[in-house]
Amino acid sequence: MDKHISVADLLELSVSERIQFAEDIWDSIAAVSEAVHIIECLSGFACQQKNAGKR
């Protein structure tokens, strides 16, 4: 099944629906064992950005 969702389609969703969509995507990525490295890298990047803002 090949579905395409455009940004315009996403913007038609309510804020809570878009948040749920993002959570569902994140959960699907986290469910893939190879994605653990990506998640760790993103987490590290987020921490670096947060700490950089404190300077």
> What pLDDT shows up at residue 20?
95
> What pLDDT shows up at residue 18?
94
Q: What's the total number of domains in the chain? A: 1
> What pLDDT shows up at residue 3?
81
Residue 1, domain member (yes or no)? no
Domain that holds residue 47: 7-53
> What pLDDT shows up at residue 28?
86
6: left (phi over 0), alpha (psi -120 to 50) or beta: beta
> What pLDDT shows up at residue 12?
96
The predicted-structure confidence for 1-49, as pLDDT tens digits, reads as follows 568 889 999 999 999 999 999 999 888 887 776 666 666 666 666 666 6
Q: In terms of DSSP H, where are the helices of the chain? A: 7-11, 15-30, 35-53
- Flag whether the pTM goes above 0.75: no
Residue 2, domain member (yes or no)? no
